[in-house]
């Protein structure tokens, strides 16, 4: 991150409240999580709480396991051949990896938005919003209301309300990403995981996604992987900094309220990273 970027980040911090809001009840938690791909251990001993109705940013250099970690939080990791893990992911008091837990139901309650927008391009905007309901077999009435409510929540309704039958492929990249968010919201998740959702977007689209994230966090818990330090400051309540030495598994160096991680980090490695000295 450039010096000007660092200054902008620090200025944003100065404009925030001095004391972070008191942490609420924990919605989701990783407990002593370690992860492997085959014989290669990629994460070790991860412990993070995700408070209800908050945004937690996962930051750190490429290759330290952030995207891998976020996929363990709704059991997407297990779909990769050779993947394994140890530890627990607790959601509403239950380990989501227990044998009697249905992973499909977990992924409905803990949704995912990926780095690149992935709507169904030949399907209509309306059809995309409702596709998650159809694929999951979830029964919800009043589809027109669902389409309007979710597109509104995703900050897209005013832009597409007069062309709901247009195909998703006609939308811009930023609009497609917000459509994907609306699709995820249609199944009423409690948690939304976002893996670098703005990395392929222009600044204007990024700003709209960030506004959507802040608005959504009033009702759901959000975990976002980002390489953009200013974005982490703008959207998150809490931050966890991941790091990995060469050929070693990644782990969490420091975590806490975002204002503290960026304004007064306790570990020199955190201080160096958020000030753009490496990564």
Q: Categorize the per-residue pLDDT at 39 as very low, low, confident or very high, splitting at 50, 70 and 90.
A: very high
pLDDT of residue 17 exceeding 70, the answer is: no
pTM of the full predicted structure? 0.90
**pLDDT tens digit string along 146-170?**
999 999 999 999 999 999 999 999 9
Structural domain spans, the chain:
3-274
**pLDDT tens digit string along 90-117?**
998 899 999 999 999 999 999 999 999 9
Tokens 């159809």: give the residue. Answer: 134
**pLDDT tens digit string along 63-93?**
999 999 999 999 999 999 999 999 999 998 8
Query: In this structure, what DSSP letter does residue 204 have?
Result: H
Q: What angle do CA 59, 67, 65 make, to 5 degrees?
A: 75
Q: Categorize the per-residue pLDDT at 19 as very low, low, confident or very high, splitting at 50, 70 and 90.
A: very low
Residue 269, SS3 per DSSP: helix
Q: What's the mean pLDDT in 265-276?
A: 95
- Write down the architecture of domain 3-274 according to CATH: 3-Layer(aba) Sandwich (3.40)
The span from the CA of 162 to the CA of 138, in Å, is 27
């Amino acid at each position: 991150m450039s010096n000007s970027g660092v200054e902008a980040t620090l200025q944003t911090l100065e404009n925030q409240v001095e004391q972070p809001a008191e942490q609420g009840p924990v919605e989701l938690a990783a407990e002593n999580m370690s992860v492997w791909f085959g014989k290669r251990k990629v994460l070790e001993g991860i412990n993070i709480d995700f408070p209800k109705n908050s945004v937690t940013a996962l930051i750190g250099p490429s290759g330290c396991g952030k995207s891998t970690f976020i996929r363990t939080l709704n059991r997407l990791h297990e779909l990769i051949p050779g993947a394994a893990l140890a530890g627990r992911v607790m959601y509403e008091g239950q380990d989501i990896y227990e044998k009697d837990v249905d992973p499909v139901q977990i992924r409905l309650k803990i949704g995912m938005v990926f780095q690149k927008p992935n709507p169904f391009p030949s399907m209509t905007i309306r059809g995309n919003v409702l596709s998650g309901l159809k694929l999951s077999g979830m029964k919800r009435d009043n589809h027109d209301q669902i389409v309007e409510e979710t597109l509104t929540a995703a900050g897209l309704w005013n832009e597409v309300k007069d062309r709901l039958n247009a195909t998703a492929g006609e939308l811009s990249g930023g609009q497609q990403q917000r459509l994907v968010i609306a699709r995820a919201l249609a199944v009423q998740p409690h948690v939304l995981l976002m893996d670098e959702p703005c990395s392929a977007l222009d600044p204007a689209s990024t700003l709209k996604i960030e506004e959507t994230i802040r608005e959504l966090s009033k009702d759901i818990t959000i975990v976002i992987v980002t390489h953009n330090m200013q974005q982490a400051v703008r959207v998150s309540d809490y931050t966890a900094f991941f790091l990995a030495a060469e050929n070693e598994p990644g782990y969490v160096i420091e975590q806490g309220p975002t204002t503290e991680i960026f304004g007064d980090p306790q570990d020199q490695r955190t201080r160096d990273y958020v000030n753009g000295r490496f990564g």
